[in-house]
Amino acid sequence: MSDPKVFVVAKILYNCEVCFLELPDFNINREDLIIIETANGPEIATVAGVTHTVPEETQSGKIIRLCTEDDLKKRRENEDKEKEAYQITLEKIKDHNLDMKLVSIHYFLDDNKIIFNFTADERVDFRELVKDLASIFKKRIELRQIGARDEAKIVKGTGICGRNFCCNAIKNELQPVTIKMAKDQNLTLNSSKISGACGRLLCCLAYEHEAYCEIKKNYPPEGSIMEYNGKTVTLSEINILKMVATLKTEDEINIRIPLKELPPGRSSG
């Protein structure tokens, strides 16, 4: 049996996008800076590790070479140009009276294309703006409308937990997060408590949701009516972290008991 194929996992520096790359014919190590091929041109990425599997429908890319001092110098020069271009673009957006928020500007390493990321509540007709920007910068121009979570991923920051934004630091793809995930984990449905800086539900709500659901399958659903010590009670809450259940009596008294004292399985409520 042949050895399983190895892929390099890397993260593009400018937008923290995770990519899966074919193993090159030269040595690379974790945290090395590399030049990779993208649909828009060469980009600098950092090596995160290796894997034997890639997500479905994901095409593996190629590593061109290790990053050089000249590449880093070019990146610094591009960052200076991005700052200058940002101010110019803000003025042009104002001139065209467009209801959009400019998030970031990125010059690709080969200097052939510029991407302008922006957010807007509705679709924006920016065709005239593109013509204006192309005449100023003399390069291929792409305006890309992104969502609030993508904005947080690019801008970066610190969450209420004190760690870097999940979308920026550890996540590969932005997966759907629902209010049901918060309910299943008995979290307070206060938007300020369960929302990130982007205004959307916290990414971390999805991390342990499956585990919560699996554990709760072993017990009656919350809201079930049952007998406990000769009293009719309602199962008001199952606290997975503390492994404690809260029962409420008919006279509104809360009783906390270990989960192991609950009857197993589902019961009718």
The string of pLDDT tens digits covering residues 28-82 is 999 999 999 998 889 999 999 999 888 877 888 999 999 999 999 999 999 999 9
What is the CATH number that goes with domain 71-146?
3.30.300
Cβ atoms of 210 and 178 within 8 Å: the answer is no
What pLDDT is recorded for position 4?
A: 74
The 10s digit of each residue's pLDDT in 139-158 is 999 999 998 888 888 888 88
What pLDDT is recorded for position 1?
A: 47
**Beta bridge mates, 115:** 106, 142
- Could you tell me the residue ranges of all domains in the chain? 7-67, 71-146, 151-210, 217-261
Element (H, E) at 104: strand 101-107
The 10s digit of each residue's pLDDT in 178-197 is 999 998 888 888 888 888 88
Listed in sequence order, the residues at least 6 apart from 24 whose beta carbon sits closer than 8 Å to its beta carbon are 8, 62, 63
Helix (H, G, I), strand (E, B) or coil at 92: helix
What does the pLDDT average to over 115-144? 93
How far is Cα 228 from Cα 255, in angstroms, rounded to an integer?
Answer: 10
How many other C-beta atoms can be found within 10 angstroms of the C-beta atom of residue 14?
Answer: 19
**Beta bridge mates, 226:** 233
- CA–centroid distance for 136 within its chain: 34
pTM for this entry:
0.74
Helices (H), the chain: 69-95, 127-137, 148-155, 166-169, 179-184, 191-194, 209-216
Helix (H, G, I), strand (E, B) or coil at 75: helix
Element (H, E) at 10: strand 7-12
In the predicted model, what is the mean pLDDT of the chain? 88
The 10s digit of each residue's pLDDT in 220-251 is 998 899 988 888 999 999 999 899 999 999 98
Q: Is the pLDDT of residue 265 over 80?
A: no
How far is Cα 148 from Cα 103, in angstroms, rounded to an integer?
Answer: 10
Cβ atoms of 224 and 267 within 8 Å: the answer is yes
Q: Tokens 């309910």 belong to which residue?
A: 183
| Closest among 100, 136, 132 to 117, alpha carbons compared | 100
What pLDDT is recorded for position 266?
A: 54
What pLDDT is recorded for position 171?
A: 61
Percent of the chain with pLDDT over 70: 95
